[in-house]
Amino acid sequence: MPDTATNTPKVDPDEILEGIRTWVEIETPSYDGEAVNKLVDKVESDMRAIGADIDRVPGQDGFGDILTTRTPWGGDGPGILVLSHVDTVHPIGMKDGILRWRREGDSVFGPGIYDMKAGAYLAYYAYRHLVRQGKQTPLPITFMYIPEEEIGSPTSRARIEEAAKANKYVLVTEPAREGGKIVTARKGVAHFQVETTGVSAHAGSRPEDGRSAIHEMAHQIVKIQAMNDFERGVSANVGLIEGGTGINVVASSCRVEVDIRVPDPEAGEEFVGKMMALTPVDPDVTLKITGGMNRPPFEKDEGISMLFEHAKKVCAEIGFDLQDMKTGGGSDGNFTAALGIPTLDGLGADGVGAHAHHEQIYFSSLEPRAKMWIRLLETLE
């Protein structure tokens, strides 16, 4: 990676914000492939207008399409992979209600604006800026837009990993953290489904004939929650539960979904083993456990450290001190970092409230982040 130049690009934050708005106001809940594809259409049109090569793969299992675009320069050689996701956790209608588009001082609100449409747009804007300037980057740039990242990228993971292996660097447009810090490490993520099956019975006249799946699940939930070890950086959470058919029926079935975060591969192996080793307390109730690691841990290795130092130097030239951190949240960067591809994450806009009803970005972060993106694309080789 070469020394950075002294010139700082000029960008228009108001223009950036208006562009972000055009993406944010197309609502894209992960499970609504048709809605997601409306934004995919928009991104494809925007990219085609500035000369990008387009590859669009139809979605699977009801999810949206996977859009990959590439700069017309640089040939087929390895370059920079920019990873973004276009889906959000918010249902249709949020933009007309509690998360309507609005600016209040430095804060700009909207569904998915922080996680992560502002970041996705910033990377696109940087590319468009270079095209407008008649510039080409030392490396070709591939932009990949994922339709179902918020639920673990089940139909996209193989393509993400394939693309990462064909490139030298990966830049992820997930949001910045804690005042503008980028992410150079993430915990691994494991997802499990736990099902208990008992025997139904009338809860009033013949309760002794029943074997409650909910009662058994209560025991299992206590066991799972006891796996939390915050000192080690391990968290276990039973986030969803459903079961039973009526208040006067001994429940014959119950199901929960479990999220476990681990700091490293060794902890991942250990806690996957603990989950799979759970046994029923009531011998008359069966227990079924499925799942495993969804995203491997993202560890800061030598390649990531070198890439971060380059980014830090670029940002110093722009006029701000770039800091990094490890976070518990997972992203598609977990996949690429685990392959040994130097990966920087959290390169999107600064803000707060990911997945929440107060989700927002800070307008003041748009100009420095856009400049950072432009200089990264200009200087990586």
Which tens digits make up the pLDDT trace of 108-117?
Answer: 999 999 999 9
List the one residue out of 182, 159, 161 whose CA is nearest residue 172: 182
Q: Is 50 exceeded by the pLDDT of residue 18?
A: yes
Q: What is the mean pLDDT of residues 210-233?
A: 97
* pLDDT reported for residue 329: 87
| Separation of alpha carbons 284 and 197, rounded Å | 9
Where residue 234 falls (left for φ over 0; alpha for ψ -120 to 50; beta otherwise) is beta
From first CA to last CA, the distance across the chain in angstroms is 6
Question: Which residue do the tokens 């590319």 mark?
Answer: 127
- Give the pLDDT band (50/70/90) at residue 7: low
Domains of the chain: 13-186+298-379 (3.40.630.10), 188-295 (3.30.70.360)
Rounded to the nearest integer, the mean pLDDT of the chain is 96
* pLDDT reported for residue 5: 45
- Give the pLDDT band (50/70/90) at residue 3: very low
